[in-house]
Amino acid sequence: MDRQELKNKVEAILFASGKKISADYIAKLCKTRKEEVLETLNELKSAYQEKNASLSIIDEGELWRIAVKEAYSPIVRKIVPQTELTKTMIETLAVIAWKAPVLQSDVIKIRTNKAYEHLAELEKTGFISREKHSRTQIIKLTQRFYDYFDVHSEQEIKDKFRSLAKQEAAKIQEEQTSNPEAIQTQTG
């Protein structure tokens, strides 16, 4: 197989998988050696960086993936959540992600009775699992959740939430600093 053909196959596999994939598995699919695949992955990674593309090839130790660069995430988020989850379901899922593992009764207290429908749908789509726990259920995140949102642990989720909260606070502070008249109008 020539070099360009291997590059095309590896790139197609990364794109189609939609998740992290090992170089070993890519080599098996391409019927070639792992070393050739690793070399190709590194070439693709460099090529994406050089052409300043909206996508990047990411090396996470033994696993590789293709991802949208952070700068383009806001526009992608506008369409991705609409494919499977409504805004209110995402809000319920965010509560679960922040508190996981969490009692169903606690989620209902925060999100109201409408969350029962969300929980059923989130379980059906594989983002959460529920187990009987006394008179309620305990809700846990599934591997599908971690793959879909590209996070690896509950701690990483909490770190991302904290980071977003800091960014939002800084944005509000900046708006208040750049427009003091609006603050006086609101308070006075």
pTM higher than 0.75: no
Where do the structural domains in the chain lie, given as residue ranges? 3-69, 85-145, 151-183
- 37 against 151, higher pLDDT: 37
Say whether pLDDT at 130 is over 80: yes
What's the confidence (pLDDT) of residue 77? 67
Q: What CATH number should be reported for the domain whose range is 85-145?
A: 1.10.10.10
Q: What CATH number should be reported for the domain whose range is 3-69?
A: 1.10.10.10
DSSP H helical ranges for 53-153: 73-84, 87-99, 104-111, 115-124, 143-148
What's the confidence (pLDDT) of residue 146? 85
- 3-69 and 85-145, same CATH topology: yes
pLDDT in tens, 5-44: 999 999 999 988 877 889 999 999 999 999 999 999 999 9
The tokens of 80 are what? 């991705």
**Count of CB atoms situated within 10 Å of the CB of 97:** 22
